[in-house]
Amino acid sequence: MTGKFIVIEGLEGAGKTTAINTVASILTQHNICDLQFTREPGGTPIAEALRNIIKNGLDDEPLTDKAELLMLYAARIQLIDNVIKPALKSGKWVIGDRHDLSTQAYQGGGRQLDNVFIKTLKEQVLGDFKPDLTLYLDIDPEIGLMRAASRGKLDRIEQQSLLFFKRIRQRYQELAKQDETIITIDAAKPLNNVIEQIEQILTTWLPKQVNNR
């Protein structure tokens, strides 16, 4: 019996932390208690070191957009091969704070890197590995960034322009429409409503997965 991989996606301040806790609590209520939590970029010592560079830079050396992209895939494959795949194989369910959809949205939409380049890299690095379910928390970047800013100092990516985040949201929305495993949640609603939306989605989705295990 292999586990399932559920990913939470969205802009900064979308409420991913609450969503992750909600998913974990619903899984536990369904007697799925062996959970592995991951975050991207990060989740292994090498991937965490890359996360630090991606979020904060290093010694004022400019980090190019292509180098950022390559680091994200390096971090991702470290995490997939060393943590996610072994966990799934052992029957654990994995709850991911971001995954490849972030790259499609941030580096493809936000940074406007060439989509063919990203697609080729993705295919070569990830093959056909993908989440079983992605919950995309859709939020206007002005609201999300305001929430994120209330926590204090902004990191390298959070300091980008509003236009950058608008492009990211647009790419997220486009990709969510094209893939039925990505479900959009209105994250502008109050937290209790966001929790209700997640409960409704999982209540429909989970029985099908558990029966297929």
Task: Return the range that interacts with ligand T5A (CB under 6 A); candidates 14-22, 86-94, 169-177, 200-208.
Answer: 14-22
Binding positions for ligand T5A, 111-140, rule CB under 6 A: none
Instruction: Return d(Cα 43, Cα 49) in angstroms, integer.
Output: 10
Distances (CA, A) of 121 to 70, 114, 118, 124, 165: 8, 11, 5, 5, 23
The nearer residue to ligand T5A, 192 or 211, going by C-beta atoms, is 192
The nearer residue to ligand T5A, 8 or 206, going by C-beta atoms, is 8
Instruction: Return d(Cα 28, Cα 123) in angstroms, integer.
Output: 33
Structure tokens at 147: 């929430």
SS3 9: strand
Q: Is 6 in the site for ligand T5A (CB under 6 A)?
A: no
Q: Is 98 in the site for ligand T5A (CB under 6 A)?
A: yes
Structure tokens at 148: 């994120």
* Residue 106 CB, nearest approach to ligand T5A (Å): 3
Binding site for ligand T5A (CB under 6 A): 10, 12-18, 39-41, 55, 72, 97-98, 102-103, 106-107, 147-148, 157-158, 187, 190-191, 194
